[in-house]
Structure 1
Amino acid sequence: MRKLTAVLLAGALAMSALTGCAGGSKEAPTTAAPQETTKAAAETEAGSVAAVDNSDKTIYVIVKVLGNQYWSVLQAGAEQAGKNLGCKVVVVGTALESDIEGQLTLLQNAVSAQASGIVIAPLDSVSLDAPITEAFNSGIPVVLVDTVIKSENYSAALLTDNVEAGKTAADEMIRRLKDRGISEDEVAQIGIQVGSTGSQTIIDRVKGFNEYWEENAPEKWVVLNDDIKVNEGDISKAVGFCQDLLTTYPDIKGVFGPNNGSTVGFVTGLTEAKRTDVTMVGFDFSAEIETMIRSGEYDVASVVQRQYFMGYDGVKTALDLANGETVAEKAIDTGVALVDINNVDTEEIQGIVNP
C-alpha cells in the first residue's frame, strides 16, 4: 500500500484522525449547500434583527492574511453585515500565514478592547487554541470561520467540511486524468504543496484527498506525500516549489493546492513553464486562477468556498450571541462548489465568487 502520510504532516494528521470524518468512500463525494446562496438572501435575513439597536456593539474580525483575495471576500461579507445590522466591525489580519505571534497579538488586542464578539480564522489550530480558549472563557462570544481549533472552546464555527472538500478535489483530479487519457497502467505522480502544517483546514483537506485517492485511484497513480512542500503563505516560495516539483518528477501528471496561496503558486509556476500537460486542482478563486481557467489552455479546476457568508454570518452570529441569543448548531458547514471553464460564468458560481 502506498504511503499516505506526509513526513511534514505526520504529527498533525495523526491528531486530525481523532477528530476528522470517517474514511474514504468509493462513491464520489457530495458538496453541501448552505441555506442561503446569494448576497441578497443574506441581507434579507438580516432584516429581522436590523431594528435592534446595535450601535454600542463592536465585532472584531481577525482574518489570516489581510488583503489576500480570499480573505478580502470574507471581509466584504463581514463589513456588509456590520452595515445591515448596525454594529461596528473592525477587520484586522496578518501579512503572512506564518505570523502566528502576530495573530495572537491581534486577538489579545480585541480582548483588551472589550470586543462584543470576536470572529477569527486561526492561523494555527494548536498554537491558537489556548488564547482562543482564554478569550472564550472571559465571556466574549468567539466565532471561528474557515478553520477550527483542537478544542471545543468556542461559541460557533462556520466553515467548510474540509475532509469532504479534499475528497471532492481528489475525485475531480482522478476524473480529469482519466479524461486526458492517462492509462491506469501508466505511472502518474501528483504533487502537493501547502501553506502551513499547523492549519487544521489544510490538514483535513490533505487527509480527505489521500483517503479518497487510496480508495479510488489506480495503483500506479501516486501522491507525492513524502515530498509535500510547505510555502508558509509566501507566494514566491510557492512558485519555486512548483518549479521544483516539475523538475524533480518527470512523471508528474497533476498538482493539488489545498489553499489559496499554494494554488496561486501552482498557477504561476505552470503558466511560466507553459505546462499545459499537468492537471491542476486547487482551492479558492484568485485572479490568477480565474485567468488560467478562462484561458482554456490548461486542465484546471478549483474548489471554491462560500467565504462571503462565513464573514457575514460570522458577524451576525457573534452579534446574536452578544445580545444573549443562542445558536441552534455549533458547527455549520457552508459547503463548496467546483469551478472550471464550463461553469465559471453561471449564476451559481458568480454568486459565490463575486457576491
Structure 2
Amino acid sequence: MLAVSAKVVRLPRALTHSKRALHDLTALPSNKPVIAYGPPGRSATTGHIATVFGCTGFMGRYVVAKLAKAGTQVIVPYRDEDEKRHLKVTGDLGQIVNMEWDLRRPDQIEECLRHSDIVYNLVGREYETKNFSYEDVHVKGAGMIANVAAQAGVDRFVHVSHLNAAHDSPSAFYRSKAAGEEAVKEAFPTATIVRPSLMYGYEDRLLNNVAFWAIWWKLNHMQTKVRPVHVMDVAQALANLIQIPSMPGTFNLPGPSTMTYEYLITLVSTVTYNPPSRAPVLPKLVALWLAKMAQYVWWPALSPDEVIRRYIDDVDVPGDWDKFGITPDEIEEHAITYLRRYRSA
C-alpha cells in the first residue's frame, strides 16, 4: 500500500487573525452594534446589512456591486429568477442573499428588510403597464416599503426619486415621483431622498437610444436642456451613505454640465464615426400618436409620457455631491466606453 502523507502549512498569524480596534465598532441609532473585520475589500465584512429594492434595474445592479465590493451583506429582492443571477458574483461567498418578493405583499417586504440596518428603494418604471401604473410603483409601492421599514425598526431608509420631480409637472412620471417623496417622508420622516438626473452607462436609455433611435431625440427641435450624470457616480454616492449615521433630507444629484439634445446627438455621431441622423423632426402630436401605438408592442420603444418629458428641461438647481464625497464626471469622459460598439469598424 502507498502511504499518503499530508503536509501541514501554517499561515502567518497576520493572515489568520485580524485584531479589531475601537473604530471597527459602530453604534446605530437603534443601539445595534455593527462590527467590521477583515482586510479592506471584497472579502472584508463591514458589519452592515443592506436591502436594495429595485436591484435588478439599471442603477440597482451598480449599487449592489458597490456595496458588496466593500464587504457589505446585500439582500437582493427579485421577481424574475433570471434577472438576479448575475448579482450573485458581485459579492464574496454568502454576501449576496436572494429573496423573492412582490411589491403588493407587505409580509414579503418585511421579510426582505427585517435584518437590515439600511434599506434602498430604487423601484421605478419608465412607462406604465396593465399591472403597474406610476402611482402603484412610485407612490403606493414607495410608501409601503418605507412604512414597513419604519415598523421593522430599520435605522436608515434611502429613496431614489428624480431631479425633475414636481407636483405641477405636465409629466405623470414626474408628478408620481413627487407624490412618492411625500409618501416616503410621511412614513419615514428621517429618510434620505436622492434626486439624480437622467443617467448614462451600460444598458442606459440615453446614449444607446441616441445612437439607435436618434429620431426620438429630435423632438422640441433638439433644444431641450438636460444634465446627464454617470450611473457609477450615483451608485457610489448611494453606497457612501452606509458610512453616514444619519442624513435626512432631499439631495439633488445632477450632472456637472447642462447640454441640449442637439449636443448629445453630435457627441454620439462624433464618437461612433457615423453621420448625424437625417430623420425629420416629428411634431409633438405625431410623436404622441406613434407612442400610443407603440404601447401595443410587448416592449414599447417610447411611451406617451416619455414624449412629454422630452419637452421638459432639467431644473437648474445646485448639486449636493460634496455631501456624498463625490465629484461627478463629464459625459465626454465615458462616452466612448458605451458607444464603441456602434462603430462600423
- Give the structure-2-normalised TM-score: 0.34
Structure with larger RCO (C-alpha < 8 A, sep 6+): 1
